[in-house]
Every structure is written in structure tokens, then in C-alpha cells.
């Protein structure tokens, strides 16, 4: 759960309805392979996994390297040119919307055209591809939800905080926090991931979200700890270690500061009621 000061994108917030259909796919091109020109009909996310790729959209060329993702919007005239000297491979997620507002397109295209796919986005795509090999209505429904989740993850990557845009250094540092929630993590490592100095990162965090990077890290760890207390039988000490605390006392102290009660009492209260508000 993100801190309250960060707005996580929603389908409603992006002005998008339920997609009419979704597809996941992957393909390998021989050296010199190409695609198009074509007019894009869907919202499509293209992820290069091997080789190289130049995507030209409306006469503007964009180079892509493995691990990068781009968003293609309906109406764009596209051409893909893959590496001449080696095979290339890419994966994609497409969502078909009968109508798409210009504002939704602007939000999805916020920031650079080519971005780095995050580990959670890659996992979502893996799931979507595996569901494509399953039959039944349940698989179709699940695939739709996964595609929408990918779109929202991309929107978050594109710094689409509907009322509060997230600067790129904050987005990059926060993603590293999420990826390494159970590992030791220093301010200098967060700054390196965000490609800024530690002092610059602290200033950017305070301006954008009203707290320091390390404060956000501890809050994310406490939130994850609360989920483990609620949903598992792990001891408080085990939970503390699994969310990156060096000792249970530190975890308990910060937990009480955030929730008003210690982790043991909080768990007892949650297990004894169906209330989900806190």
C-alpha cells in the first residue's frame, strides 16, 4: 500500500472503461525483421526482450534496448525495424477500447517514450502469457484483469499520479524499495538507482511526497509487515526480519508509532473481527 500522499492510478482516474478485449503475445524475429507500417488500433505495450528495435511512430524514431517498454496508442502510424545482425524478440500486451479520451492518452504517454519495464510488470506479463494457454471463461476473465493491472503499472511508471505527479527520481527510488523490501537498503543505494545524489533525492522526496526516502521505506516495510501479521501465523520476530528490520524491537516500535498499538495487539484485534478498516 503506497503512502497516502501518492496517488495510485485507477482505470476511472485515467478515464478508461473496461477493455473490450485483451491479448498477450511474444515473437522472435530473424535478423533484419520488420513490422508495418500499420495504424495502431489498440492501447499496446511493446517490450523488447532481445536484440534491438527502432519504433517509428508518426515519423518519429525511438530506439529500444532489451528490458525496455513503450506504449502505443490508437491512431498512430507505426513501423518496427529490428536488429540487422542478430535475432530480436519482443512481447506485448494489447487492450482494445472502443473509445479513448485524449486525456487518457496524454496521461499514459507522460514522460519519455521508452521506459524500463519493472520486475512486477514482467511478472504480470508472464502470468498473462501463461493464461493465454489455458481455456475456460475463468482464464479470459483473469487475463483481462492482468492486462488492466499491467496498464496501471505502466501508468505508475509513467508518473501518472493523477493529482500529484511523481518525479522520476521518486518513482525509481520507490520501485527499488518495493523490489528490495526485505533487504538492507541505504540512502546512497536509493540515490544511485534514481541517478541523483543523496541530498538531491531527499529534497525531491520532501517536495513531492512530504517525507524523506528512508521514512517512506520504513512505512512500506511496516505496511508489508501488517499484511503478514494479518494473513500468516508468522511470529512478530519472523515478520520483522522478513520486512527488512534488523531486530523485532525496532519493528514493534515503528509499528506502534504508525498504528497506535503494538503488532501483537493489532493482530489479535484483526483476527477477532471482520472489520477491514484498520
Q: What local confidence, expressed as pLDDT, does residue 116 receive? A: 85
Q: In angstroms, rounded to a whole number, what is the distance separating the alpha carbons of residues 206 and 219?
A: 15
Beta strand 68-72 with 21-29 is unpaired
Q: What local confidence, expressed as pLDDT, does residue 253 receive? A: 92
**Closest CA relative to residue 43, chosen from 16, 13, 74, 18:** 74
**Closest CA relative to residue 37, chosen from 19, 67, 61:** 61
**Considering the domain 11-157 in this protein, what is its CATH number?**
2.60.120.280
DSSP state, residue 167: P
**Closest CA relative to residue 166, chosen from 223, 117, 110:** 110
Within its chain, how far is the Cα of 113 from the centroid? 16
Q: What local confidence, expressed as pLDDT, does residue 4 receive? A: 40
Q: In angstroms, rounded to a whole number, what is the distance separating the alpha carbons of residues 188 and 194?
A: 10
pLDDT, one tens digit for every residue, the chain (278 residues): 344 444 445 555 566 778 888 999 999 999 999 998 999 888 999 999 999 999 999 999 999 999 999 999 988 899 999 999 999 999 999 999 877 777 677 777 776 788 888 888 899 999 999 987 777 888 889 999 999 999 888 887 665 444 445 688 888 898 889 888 888 889 999 999 999 999 999 999 988 888 899 999 999 999 999 999 998 999 999 999 999 998 999 999 999 998 899 999 999 988 887 665 55
In the chain, what are the domain boundaries? 11-157, 168-212, 215-271
Q: What local confidence, expressed as pLDDT, does residue 276 receive? A: 53
What is the chain's length? 278
User: Which cell is 194 given?
Assistant: 534514481
User: Which cell is 112 given?
Assistant: 519519455
Does CATH number 1.10.10 belong to domain 168-212?
yes
Bridge partners, residue 46, by sequence: 70, 92
Same fold, 11-157 and 215-271: no
Q: Are 148 and 200 in contact (CB under 8 A)?
A: no
Q: What local confidence, expressed as pLDDT, does residue 1 receive? A: 39
User: Which cell is 272 given?
Assistant: 477477532
Number of other CB atoms surrounding residue 166 within 10 Å: 23
Q: Which is it for the CA torsion 220, 224, 225, 226, positive or negative?
A: positive
The predicted model scores a pTM of: 0.64
Q: Measure the N-to-C terminal CA separation of the chain; round to a whole number of Å.
A: 13
Q: Are 205 and 170 in contact (CB under 8 A)?
A: yes
Does CATH number 2.102.10.10 belong to domain 215-271?
no
Amino acid at each position: 500500500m503506497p503512502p497516502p500522499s501518492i496517488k495510485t492510478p485507477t482505470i476511472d482516474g485515467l478515464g478508461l472503461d473496461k477493455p473490450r478485449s485483451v491479448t498477450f503475445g511474444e515473437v522472435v524475429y530473424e535478423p533484419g525483421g520488420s513490422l508495418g507500417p500499420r495504424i495502431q488500433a489498440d492501447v499496446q505495450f511493446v517490450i523488447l526482450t532481445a536484440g534491438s528495435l527502432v519504433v517509428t511512430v508518426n515519423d518519429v524514431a525511438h530506439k529500444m534496448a532489451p528490458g525496455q517498454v513503450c506504449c502505443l496508442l490508437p491512431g498512430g502510424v507505426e513501423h518496427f525495424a529490428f536488429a540487422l545482425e542478430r535475432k530480436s524478440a519482443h512481447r506485448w500486451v494489447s487492450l482494445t477500447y472502443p473509445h479513448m479520451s485524449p486525456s487518457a492518452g496524454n496521461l499514459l504517454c507522460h514522460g519519455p517514450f521508452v521506459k524500463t519495464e519493472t520486475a512486477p510488470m514482467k511478472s504480470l506479463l508472464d502470468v498473462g502469457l501463461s493464461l493465454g494457454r489455458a481455456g475456460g471463461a475463468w482464464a479470459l476473465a483473469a487475463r483481462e484483469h492482468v492486462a488492466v493491472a499491467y496498464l496501471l503499472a505502466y501508468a505508475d511508471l509513467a508518473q501518472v499520479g493523477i493529482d500529484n505527479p511523481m518525479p522520476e527520481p521518486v518513482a525509481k527510488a520507490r520501485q527499488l524499495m518495493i523490489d528490495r523490501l526485505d533487504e538492507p537498503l541505504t540512502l546512497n543505494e536509493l540515490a544511485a538507482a534514481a541517478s541523483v545524489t543523496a541530498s538531491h533525492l531527499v529534497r525531491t522526496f520532501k517536495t513531492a511526497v512530504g517525507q524523506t526516502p528512508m521514512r517512506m521505506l520504513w512505512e512500506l516495510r511496516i505496511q508489508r509487515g501488517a499484511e503478514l501479521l494479518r494473513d500468516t501465523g508468522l511470529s512478530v520476530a519472523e515478520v520483522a526480519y522478513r520486512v527488512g528490520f534488523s531486530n523485532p524491537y525496532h519493528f514493534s516500535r515503528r509499528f506502534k508509532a504508525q498504528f497506535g498499538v503494538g503488532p501483537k495487539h493489532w493482530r489479535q484485534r484483526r483476527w477477532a473481527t471482520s472489520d477491514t478498516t484498520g
